[in-house]
Amino acid sequence: MQMSFRWYGTSDPVSLDYIRQIPNMKGIVSAIYDIPVGEVWPLEKIQELKQQVEDKGLELSVIESVPVHEDIKLGKPSRDKYIENYKQTLRNLGEAGIPVVCYNFMPVFDWTRSDLNYELEDGSHALIFDEEEVNKMDPRTLSLPGWDESYTAEEMNQLMDEYKEVDTEKLWENLEYFIKAIMPTAEEADVKMAIHPDDPPYSIFGLPRVITNKEALNRFINLYDSKYNGVTACVGSYASDPKNDAVAMLKDMLEKDRVNFVHARNVKLTGEGKSFEESAHLSKMGSIDMYEVVKALSDHGFEGSIRPDHGRMIWGETGKPGYGLYDRALGATYLNGLYEAVQKAGK
Ligand code: DNO
Ligand code: MN
């Protein structure tokens, strides 16, 4: 497996100069952030990003994410135009030699938490999801970091209304339409697609969600039978539903050769409904056995990229919630240690 790290581009306070000092760091996970959702990513911009990364001796190994326009998720007539643009972006990424693209199919909101700066017992700060708090939130009036800030209140209201017509089955249909349309291009361009699970993996705010559990992952990979139609195994997201066995889901996808990217982080289910805290990576800090995660990757000879997902804010660091340097670097180091031990024990 190739250790990698998310980088938000030149404005990220966690610079490539810092990232390359993390032991065994090879890959960079990034994106182009200044192109409106739905438009084509120009080849020159992709090449420029790749060059910045390679100048520091690193490799641009995954694009996370190429966002999917809401019209595609809603199944509106305009989706065909946006799908054509998506295909062109994939061709450009392929031409630049980018091997993997991560994306998601969550309506309106990407990942959702109730508090992005919750103080844990040890004084560190973490992202948490308190079910009761989230149930009280009104997405039409509230804005949280991590959400698309580009909607006005009016647009948000309209979007939420449009989704009233889209239930889970309709969203599956729209996903199927999208997948069948883009996959031949992804294959031709030699870009492996890796769908990120819904985070958390169940419906919130009455919006439908599809990439939620083991059954859903299997339904998804069967939409188009190709290694290029794969998943981002985000064990932290999988495990946020107490009903899910994240390790079993990872193993299932590894057995079927559909894991194209891995996100590793731990969550601690607090025992109250679906509430959880994002914990340090170490197995005993949370609800996921990270040894089993790394062992499964090693047993299957996983050669793709893995990145430490969110980290806590520690040692006084401030910045983008979940994306500081220190705790994610500790996560990478822990994963490296597990991997070395698993590999040596297997010899
Ligand atoms: C949060 C991330 C997500 C992820 C997208 C992938 O930190 O895990 O925002 O990048 O859902 O499309
Ligand atoms: Mn993730």
Structure ipTM:
0.95
Q: What is the pLDDT along the chain (347 residues), one digit of tens a residue?
A: 999 999 999 999 999 999 999 999 999 999 999 999 999 999 999 999 999 999 999 999 999 999 999 999 999 999 999 999 999 999 999 999 999 999 999 999 888 898 899 999 999 999 999 998 888 888 787 666 555 566 778 888 899 999 999 999 999 999 999 999 999 999 999 999 999 999 999 998 999 999 999 999 999 999 999 999 999 999 999 999 999 999 999 999 999 999 999 999 999 998 878 999 999 999 999 999 999 999 999 999 999 999 999 999 999 999 999 999 999 999 999 999 999 999 999 87
69 flagged as catalytic: no
- Kindly state the tokens that stand for 34: 């200044």
263 flagged as catalytic: yes
What DSSP character marks residue 204? Answer: B
310 flagged as catalytic: yes
**Residues around ligand 2, an ion, CB closer than 5 A:** 234, 263, 309
Amino acid found at 236: G
The ligand minimizing its distance to the Cα of 322 is 1
Which of 9, 95, 101 lies closest to 52, judged by CA? 9
DSSP per residue, 252-309: HHHHTT-EEEEEE-EEEE-SSTT-EEEE-SSGGGSSS-HHHHHHHHHHTT--SEEEE-
Q: Using the structure block, give the residue that is written with the tokens 């039409």.
A: 140
Task: Decide: 257 and 288 in contact? Cβ < 8 Å.
Answer: no
Q: Which residues contact 326 (CB under 8 A, 6 or more apart)?
A: 311, 314, 315, 317
Q: For 2-346, CATH number?
A: 3.20.20.150
Domain spans of the chain, in order of start: 2-346
The whole-model pTM stands at 0.96
Nearest CA to ligand 1 atom 2: 111
Q: Separation of 312 CA from ligand 2 center, angstroms?
A: 14
For ligand 1, is residue 196 a contact (CB within 6 Å)? yes
Distance CA 193, CA 344 (A): 31
309 flagged as catalytic: yes
The ligand minimizing its distance to the Cα of 196 is 1
Q: Separation of 77 CA from ligand 2 center, angstroms?
A: 30
Is residue 63 helix, strand or coil?
Answer: strand
Strands (E), the chain: 2-6, 27-30, 59-64, 100-103, 115-119, 125-129, 192-195, 229-234, 259-264, 266-269, 276-279, 305-308
Q: Separation of 307 CA from ligand 2 center, angstroms?
A: 9
Distance CA 219, CA 203 (A): 18
Task: Decide: 332 and 22 in contact? Cβ < 8 Å.
Answer: yes
102 flagged as catalytic: no
Residue among 309, 327, 334, 339 flagged as catalytic: 309
**What residues pair up with 29 in beta bridges, in sequence order?**
6, 62
Alpha-carbon distance values, 225 to 190, 191, 251 (Å): 15, 15, 18
